[in-house]
Amino acid sequence: MNDLKRFVSEFDSRNKGIPPHFENDGDNTLRLDCPMCGFESVHHSGIAVIVDSVNIVRGSVVAIPMFCEDGCSFVLCHGFHKGGIYTWCIPVPKCLQWGFKPTA
Ligand SMILES: [Zn+2]
């Protein structure tokens, strides 16, 4: 199991989870803002993974590592549980950023 999968599978949402914030851009799409500071410029920062077992939901979770241009790192998660898809964010502490930032 890689570091991202382990981080997501062991995460306890009751203590640290934060809801995503989407802004309606008026063009039938929603733009994700940084869930930590609200900045609108966020990027993918690595390869998404599928995590089979997490504390929050019983089904699998698609976990996408992200960062904002103001320095925050988080994981955007889409998880299945009892017929529903739930979306949440996990803030990533600076000491666990696993190279999420782009190298360029
Ligand atoms: Zn931010």
Q: What is the pLDDT of residue 31?
A: 95
Residue 70 pLDDT > 90:
yes
pTM, 2 dp = 0.84
Q: Ligand 1 centre from 37 Cα, in Å?
A: 4
Domain boundaries, given as residue ranges, for the chain: 3-96
Q: Ligand 1 centre from 102 Cα, in Å?
A: 15
Count other C-beta atoms under 10 Å from residue 21's C-beta.
15
Q: Ligand 1 centre from 82 Cα, in Å?
A: 31
At residue 78, the 3 state secondary structure works out as: strand
Dihedral angle sign, alpha carbons of residues 15, 41, 93, 54: positive
2-19 burial by CB neighbour count: b if 16+ within 10 A, else e? eebbebbbebebeeeeee
Residue pair 42/23 in contact by the 8 Å Cβ criterion: no
Count other C-beta atoms under 10 Å from residue 62's C-beta.
16
Per-residue pLDDT, averaged over 89-99, amounts to: 78
Extract the tokens encoding 101.
Answer: 């930032």
